[in-house]
């Protein structure tokens, strides 16, 4: 049975020297990233952790820390350092995390009795440490916190097998592989981040993490995309709207995925001739998305919005009323 780490390890075996992840400081091959995973896992503050909090800057160390957590069989609980401290405290306390992985510069602010493992940039990718893979298909992989209808954040638990299923569904439709590069643009607490990270690293492609200054505006972001030969981008429809205002987008982009809100026809009029454009839909509970719709050659509804499309492989969708029965 497959887990996140087993699918990643398959890529390590098949293409050890291929680029896996890059940030503004360095690039790691699949073999190097695998070594960094073990280095970080060897520093964990307890044996058999169940929940590990992660509050880190986006970079290769963050990606390795996430994979280290799932490799040892834990579920990670991600939060951005920019989140309000009380929100971070609520999330980590509710999950009763075993410890928190963060950077020294954030350790004082997040000071609610959590044990902290400080991981800084520039961790060495040594070859003399090996950590056993303890992940299980039905074991939890992560807990993402949504805004919640009650005002308090609501944690959504997702298993390894659910993530692996979505990776296979993504491969079936979008065919990522070695040579593809996915832009890592989303915050870590959104489903889009799950899509960016796992459909890339579990498929042999490369994850490219831009510096914050590259996100200042869409023109600067497209300069980063072009200079780093990004081929895939997943984001909210408003990002596509901003891209649609440009005369052109980088020719290296072959795939644009919209999710998280309604995609309108007027958001992508200039993009459709330049790349494949997909509309996707699904709450966190469905693991990123349940249906998707290819906009190229498709059509928008009378109100100008695109369809949510057809179920991804292995998913069935039904419409039900408030009492539960399936509607015709």
For residue 318, what are the contacts with CB-CB under 8 A and spacing of at least 6? 326, 327
For residue 297, what are the contacts with CB-CB under 8 A and spacing of at least 6? none
> How many whole angstroms separate alpha carbon 328 and alpha carbon 326?
7
Domain boundaries, the chain: 29-161, 163-311
* Common-topology check for domains 29-161 and 163-311: yes
Give me the CATH code for the 29-161 domain, please: 3.40.50.980
Q: How confident is the model over 71-114, as pLDDT tens digits?
A: 999 999 999 999 999 999 999 999 999 999 999 999 888 877 88
Q: How confident is the model over 129-160, as pLDDT tens digits?
A: 999 999 999 999 999 998 755 667 889 999 99
pTM of the model: 0.94
Higher pLDDT, 100 or 317: 100
> How many whole angstroms separate alpha carbon 168 and alpha carbon 314?
10
- Domain 163-311: which CATH number of 3.55.40.20, 3.90.550.10, 3.40.50.980, 3.60.15.10: 3.40.50.980
Q: Which alpha helices (DSSP H) does the chain contain, by range?
A: 4-14, 30-41, 60-71, 85-95, 104-107, 160-174, 191-201, 218-227, 237-244
Q: How confident is the model over 211-251, as pLDDT tens digits?
A: 999 998 999 999 999 999 999 999 999 999 999 999 999 99
Element (H, E) at 155: strand 154-159
pLDDT band for 266, please (50, 70, 90 cuts): very high
pLDDT band for 124, please (50, 70, 90 cuts): confident
């Amino acid at each position: 049975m497959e887990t996140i780490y087993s699918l990643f390890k398959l890529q390590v075996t098949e293409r050890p020297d291929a680029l896996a992840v890059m940030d503004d400081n360095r690039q790691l091959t699949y073999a190097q990233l695998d070594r960094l995973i073990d280095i970080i896992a060897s520093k964990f503050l307890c044996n058999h952790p169940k929940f590990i909090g992660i509050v880190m800057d986006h970079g290769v160390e963050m990606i390795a820390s996430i994979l280290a957590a799932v490799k040892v069989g834990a579920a990670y609980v991600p939060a951005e350092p920019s989140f309000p401290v009380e929100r971070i405290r609520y999330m980590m306390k509710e999950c009763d995390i075993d410890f928190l992985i963060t950077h020294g510069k954030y350790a004082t602010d997040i000071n609610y009795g959590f044990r902290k493992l400080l991981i800084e940039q520039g961790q060495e990718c040594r070859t003399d440490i090996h950590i056993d893979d303890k992940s299980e298909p039905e074991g939890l992989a992560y807990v993402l916190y949504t805004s919640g209808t009650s005002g308090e954040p609501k944690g959504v638990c997702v298993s390894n097998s659910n993530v692996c299923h979505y990776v296979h569904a993504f491969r079936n439709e979008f065919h990522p592989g070695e040579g593809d590069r996915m832009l890592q643009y989303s915050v870590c607490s959104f489903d889009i981040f799950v899509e960016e990270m796992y459909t890339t690293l579990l498929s042999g492609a490369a994850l490219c993490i831009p510096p914050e200054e590259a996100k200042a505006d869409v023109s600067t972001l497209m300069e980063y995309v072009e200079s780093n030969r990004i081929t895939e981008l997943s984001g909210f429809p408003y990002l596509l709207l901003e891209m649609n205002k440009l005369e052109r987008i980088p020719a290296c982009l072959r795939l644009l995925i919209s999710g998280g809100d309604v995609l309108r026809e007027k958001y992508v009029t200039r993009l459709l001739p330049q790349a494949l454009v997909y509309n996707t839909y699904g709450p966190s509970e469905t693991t990123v998305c349940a249906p998707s719709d290819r906009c190229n050659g498709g059509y928008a509804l009378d109100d100008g919005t695109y369809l949510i499309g057809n179920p991804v492989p292995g998913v069935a969708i039904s419409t039900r009323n408030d009492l539960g029965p399936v509607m015709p």
